[in-house]
Amino acid sequence: MTAEYQVHGDVAVITLANPPVNGLGLSTRQGIVDGLAKAEADAAVKAIVITGAGGAFSGGADIKEFGTDKSLQEPNLHSVINAVENAGKPVVAAIHSVCMGGGLELALGCHYRIAAPGCSVALPEVKLGILPGAGGTQRLPRVVGVEAALNMIVSGEPVKSEMIGAVPGQKLFDKMAASAESLAAEALAFAKSVADVRPLPLVRNLPCKHPEGDAYFQFARNMVKGMAKNFPAPAKCVDAVEAATKRKFADGLAFERELFINLMWTPESRALRHLFLAERAASKIPDVPSDTPKRDVQKVGVIGAGTMGGGISMNFLNAGIPVTILETKQEALDRGVATIRKNYEAQVKKGKLKQEKYEQRMALLSTTLSYDDLKDVDLVIEAVFEEMGVKEAVFKQLDAVAKPGAILASNTSTLDVDQIASFTKRPQDVVGMHFFSPANVMKLLEVVRGKATAKDVLATVMAIAKKIKKTAVVSGVCDGFIGNRMIERYSQQAGFLLDEGCTPQQVDKAIEKFGFAMGPFRMGDLAGNDIGWAIRKRRAVEQPDMKYSKTADLLCEMGRFGQKTGAGWYDYQAGKRDAIPSDVVNKMIEDHRKALGVTPRKVSDEEIVQRLVYALVNEGAKILEEGIASKSGDIDMVYLTGYGFPIHRGGPMHYASEVGLFNVVESMKRFAKNPLDDARAWTPAPLLAKLAAEGKAFQ
Ligand code: 3H9
């Protein structure tokens, strides 16, 4: 049982004990009901307190139980809350730390609530694509008012208990405890003080009205429509709260339940729940236990003051960690520091950063031209030119000066981390830290594990990633790691689509309609088309039979590198980022088709999306079976946080499983027959073929 029962004098205390956050799984729900029954049966007990052990009152329904039989088994959360409401003795919720979702709904079912300051209170279900399904939309408006409740329910954002407690007239908390430490004693005393009160107060009996009902809810619907875009849940939250103001409590509750169940089955909710679990799972490395000792990182060195080096440095400065940037020339250092300043000043101007904070961050930054000044840093990240010879020189020098135990990281996006490690006498301390541009903004960090990388180095880097607010995903060593290796297949298809009859804008539009933040050609223009060009030239030597559309090379030969040269796949007006379809480029593509002897055909948006996305999926499956990624959720996290894959689709691997892997493979077989395509690229990865044949999904 994951709830404990104790009696203190004449008060029974039921303590939820289901780490890490006292999720209301079956065994905890059963524990509450059993505890209530015991307390009711014991004549010596006059009142009951429900609280949570450890760092939470409760984080809500157990997300890991969703979709399993356990979530359906009695007692469900409704039955638990009914049992609390119908108890013959007062039930007091003693709330601390985290009180969210079903946890808050449970508390709202209690007769009284006492809260410690500093507790995060929320109905965050909307972030999982659902709405509060155990009375939250009906009870919260009755205690904090309709508008405050709707804001909390639609945003899912936590509010601090002391803020709610300070609002005049609020009925969520009957009492605020002086501190988290005194909560237990204060809750017992409070329970004693209300032991004889009858009838017992119930939130469901409080009135729920909005003075300008229809107009207010119309306004709320319009607001939500603009914000929610691809997600149905926020609009349903408005419907449910409106029902609280217009229907009888029991009818409102039934309506909320119906909406909750319908939302639970939407692909958007499945995608968001997958994202929640995948994000947390990504931080765990199967063979690196969570209690692996970590190295102390107090000072960081960054080699290279270019765009990447500057962005990387800002992450650490933002987290209060001193950074020393090393360059070969003073001018390069000055330019780099000026860019960092400019970025911070822009944030100050927009009111996103206080002047004082900006100064504090800049005070943590130092610069040097000498490797000797890196001798006491704990972590050094190299962000120099992407060429093995340059990396070799850097790592040899680092090896010579860095203190024992310092972590030596490379920001390489494609090169072999094992080879880089071999330039040092301490390959166990070498790791890849692949940031994405702009490095101070993008959430993704690929942590590249070399064959010699020590476990404590990995554990340290994962912890540091959390500190600098990155989503870290571990990748093995291969060309392009997880993200760039897959994007190559996607770009290959984008190129073939041009050869076959599409324009760049048609391809971009189709995939942007699917939900990508940016299509492949707008993305190429933003990142710089010359980067892919350099990689293709290298590949041409390594893989001479590689098949791809030559339009990308022709574009670069025209000097159209993208936004930075004012022209790429699109035209750009000076100082603007709007992509304008280019006649010159369209003509280049047409001429190329003629040279190939291709008669252009009309390609449907559906085919465009399938080819681009399934190309990612097939490569993802290879990455998974080679062990480059340890879980399919890791691949999804890379694409959701680093490549603009639509959140409501849950990442390429999750999306493929939703479509059905059998269907994916059937489409791939069709694409393989296209003579203008690369049939080899469409040979299903053995893992994909196996799962498809077995009717299974990616795990
Ligand atoms: C709901 O309640 C539905 C009802 O309305 C109706 C039902 C009928 N369940 O985030 P962290 C785990 S829907 C199970 O890294 P933090 C999490 O997976 C639910 N597990 O820590 C991780 O486990 P692991 C509404 C949960 O300190 C560990 O806790 N509630 C749950 O940064 C640590 O998580 C929510 O949506 C859960 N409900 O933040 C709350 N919550 O170590 C969502 C967390 O094995 N949760 N875990 O990977 C959160 O917002 C944050 O996790 C929280 C802690 C603020 C609680």
42 and 65 in contact (C-beta within 8 Å)?
no
Examine the residue annotation and report whether 125 is marked as an active-site residue of this protein. Answer: yes
pLDDT at site 441: 94
Minimum CA distance residue for ligand 1 atom 46: 59
**Closest to 140 in 3D by CA, of 505, 148, 495:** 148
Residue with CA nearest ligand 1 atom 4? 102
pLDDT range class, residue 213, cuts 50, 70, 90: confident
For residue 527, pLDDT beyond 90: no
**Residue 217 φ then ψ, to 5°:** -70, -30
Tokens of 695: 């009717």
Q: What is the atom index within ligand 1 of the atom nearest the CA of 105?
A: 5
Asked whether 108 lines ligand 1 (CB < 6 A), one says no
Distances (CA, A) of 292 to 112, 280, 298, 473, 681: 43, 17, 19, 17, 40
Q: pLDDT digit string (tens) for 218-258?
A: 999 999 998 888 999 999 999 999 999 999 999 999 999 99
Q: Is 65 in the pocket of ligand 1 (CB under 6 A)?
A: no
Ligand 1 centre to CA of 699 (Å) is 20
Q: Which residues pair with 16 in a beta bridge?
A: 3, 52
What are the residue ranges of helices labelled H in 166-295? 183-193, 213-228, 233-246, 249-264, 267-282
The predicted pLDDT at position 237 comes to 98
Q: What's the 19 CA to ligand 1 centre distance in angstroms?
A: 10
- Is there an atom of ligand 1 within 6 Å of 275 CB? no
pLDDT average, residue stretch 573-601? 95
Nearest atom of ligand 1 to the alpha carbon of 78: 8
| pLDDT (0 to 100) of residue 229 | 85
Distances (CA, A) of 325 to 134, 318, 367, 383: 53, 15, 5, 10
Ligand 1 midpoint to CA 366 (Å): 40
State if residue 102 touches ligand 1 by the CB under 6 angstroms criterion: yes
Q: Is 109 in the pocket of ligand 1 (CB under 6 A)?
A: no
What's residue 567's pLDDT? Answer: 96
507 in contact with ligand 1, CB cutoff 6 A: no
Q: 407: Cβ below 6 Å to ligand 1?
A: no
- Residue whose CA lies nearest to ligand 1 atom number 16: 21
Per-residue model confidence as pLDDT tens digits over 530-549: 988 888 887 778 888 888 99
Distance 424 CA to ligand 1 centre (A): 42
The pLDDT of residue 196 is above 90: yes
Looking from the CA of 618 toward its CB, the CA atoms found within 13 Å total 28
The alpha carbon of 124 and the centre of ligand 1 are apart by a number of angstroms equal to 10
Helix locations, 136-232, DSSP H: 136-144, 146-155, 161-165, 183-193, 213-228
Strand bridging mode 570-571 / 300-303: unpaired
Spacing, Cα 261 to ligand 1 middle (Å): 19
**Residue 474 dihedral angles phi and psi, to the nearest 5°:** -85, 135
The mean per-residue pLDDT over the stretch 548-555 comes to 95
Question: Can you tell me whether residue 365 is helix, strand or coil?
Answer: strand
* Residue 100 Cβ < 6 Å to ligand 1: yes
Q: Could you tell me whether strands 379-382 and 91-95 are parallel, antiparallel, or unpaired per DSSP bridges?
A: unpaired
Residue 619 Cβ < 6 Å to ligand 1: no
The pLDDT score that the predictor gives to residue 278 is 97
pLDDT surpasses 80 at 505: yes
Given a cut of 90, whether residue 190 has pLDDT beyond it is yes
Chain CA centroid to CA 610, Å? 24
Q: Annotated catalytic, 65? A: no
CA 444 – ligand 1 centroid, Å: 21
Alpha-carbon distances of 57 from 3, 60, 85, 185, 334, rounded to whole Å: 12, 9, 18, 16, 51
With a 6 A CB cut-off, is 20 part of the ligand 1 pocket? yes
Ligand 1 pocket residue status of 132, Cβ below 6 Å: yes
The one catalytic residue in 4, 74, 85, 105 is 105
Distance, CA 333 to ligand 1 centroid (Å)?
44
List C-alpha distances in Å: 497 to 42, 174, 187, 504, 507: 75, 64, 67, 9, 8
Name the pTM for this structure.
0.94
Nearest CA to ligand 1 atom 5: 132
CA angle 53, 57, 60 (to 5 degrees): 120
Distance CA 21, CA 59 (A): 5
CA of 59 to the centre of ligand 1 (A): 5
Q: Which atom of ligand 1 is found nearest the CA of 63?
A: 9
Q: Taking a C-beta distance cutoff of 8 angstroms, is the pair 463, 479 a contact?
A: no
In angstroms, the CA 47 to CA 671 distance is 69
Cα(139)–Cα(252) distance, integer angstroms: 10
Question: Given the CA of residue 21, which atom of ligand 1 is nearest to it?
Answer: 29
Measuring CA to CA, which residue among 7, 4, 116, 13 is closest to residue 55? 116
CA distance 584 to 240: 54
23 lines ligand 1 (CB under 6 A): yes
Strand partners, 91: 48
Write phi, then psi, for 233 (nearest 5 degrees): -60, -45
Greatest extent of the chain over all pairs of C-alpha atoms, in Å: 93
The C-alpha atoms of residue 51 and residue 95 are separated, in whole angstroms, by: 6
For residue 262, which amino acid is it? N
Q: What is the mean pLDDT of residues 130-148?
A: 98
Spatial separation of the C-alpha atoms in residues 543 and 541, rounded to whole Å = 6
CA–centroid distance, 263 to ligand 1, in Å, is 19
Give me Rg for the CA atoms of the chain. 29
Give me ligand 1 centre to Cα 104, in Å. Answer: 13
Which of the four pLDDT bands, split at 50, 70 and 90, describes residue 153? very high
Q: Name the residue of 21, 105, 106 to mutate for ligand 1: max ligand atoms within 8 A of Cβ.
A: 21
Ligand 1 pocket, 243 CB below 6 A? no
Closest ligand 1 atom to 134 CA: 6
Q: How many CB atoms lie within 10 A of CB 653?
A: 29
Instruction: Give the three-state DSSP class for 675.
Output: coil
pLDDT exceeds 80 at position 137: yes
Please give the DSSP secondary-structure letter assigned to residue 204. G
Amino acid of residue 626: E
63 lines ligand 1 (CB under 6 A): yes
- What is the model's pLDDT at position 422? 98
Q: Identify whether the C-beta of residue 546 lies closer than 8 Å to the C-beta of residue 540.
A: yes
Provide the percentage of residues in the chain whose pLDDT is more than 90.
Answer: 93
Query: Average pLDDT, stretch 366-373?
Result: 97
Catalytic residue among 65, 125, 386, 446: 125
Distance CA 581, CA 601 (A): 20
pLDDT of residue 545: 83
Give me the helices (H) in 304-411, please.
307-318, 330-349, 355-363, 388-401
As for the ipTM of the complex, it is 0.99
Q: Strand 323-326 relative to strand 300-303: parallel, antiparallel, unpaired?
A: parallel
What ligand 1 atom has the least distance to the C-alpha of 277? 18
Per-residue confidence band for 498, with pLDDT thresholds at 50, 70 and 90:
very high
Chain-wide mean pLDDT for the chain? 96
Per the rule left: phi > 0, alpha: psi between -120 and 50, beta: everything else, 525 is: alpha
Is any atom of ligand 1 closer than 6 Å to the C-beta of 94? no
Q: What angle do CA 552, 553, 556 make, to 5 degrees?
A: 90
Instruction: Give the Å distance between the CA of 462 and the centre of ligand 1.
Output: 20
**Is residue 67 over pLDDT 90?**
no
Task: Tell me what percent of the residues of the chain surpass a pLDDT of 70.
Answer: 100
Residue to probe by mutation, ligand 1, list 24, 26, 63, most atoms within 8 Å of CB: 63
477 to each of 410, 419, 480, how far by Cα in Å? 12, 10, 8
pLDDT in tens, 247-300: 999 999 999 999 999 999 999 999 999 999 999 999 999 999 999 999 999 999
User: In whole angstroms, what is the distance from residue 539 CA to residue 400 CA?
Assistant: 33
For β-strands 407-410 and 379-382, DSSP reports them as parallel
Phi/psi at 365 (nearest 5 deg)?
Answer: -100, 130
Do the strands 175-176 and 112-115 form a parallel or antiparallel pair, or are they unpaired? parallel
What is the model's pLDDT at position 608? 98
Ligand 1 touching residue 21 (CB < 6 A): yes
Q: Which helix (H) or strand (E) holds 122?
A: strand 120-122
Degrees (nearest 5) of the Cα angle 558, 560, 562?
Answer: 170
Enter the tokens of residue 117.
Answer: 């300051």
The partner residues of 365 in beta bridges, in order of sequence, read 323
Residue nearest to atom 17 of ligand 1 (CA): 280
**Which ligand 1 atom sits closest to the C-alpha of 136?**
5
Q: Is the CB of 125 under 6 A from ligand 1?
A: yes
Residue nearest to atom 11 of ligand 1 (CA): 280
Give me ligand 1 centre to Cα 134, in Å. Answer: 16
100-119: average pLDDT: 98
Phi, psi of 352 (to 5 degrees): -90, -15
**Contact (CB, 8 A) for 643 and 267:** no
Going by their DSSP bridges, the two strands 365-368 and 379-382 should be labelled as unpaired
Query: Cα separation of 396 and 339, whole Å?
Result: 28
At 617, which amino acid appears? V
Binning pLDDT at 50, 70 and 90, where does residue 665 land? Answer: very high
* Mean pLDDT of all residues in 437-461: 97
Stretch 72-97: mean pLDDT, rounded?
Answer: 97
Name the band, by pLDDT with cuts 50, 70 and 90, for residue 699.
Answer: confident
Q: Per residue, what are the HEC states of 53-70?
A: CCCCCECCCCHHHCCCHH
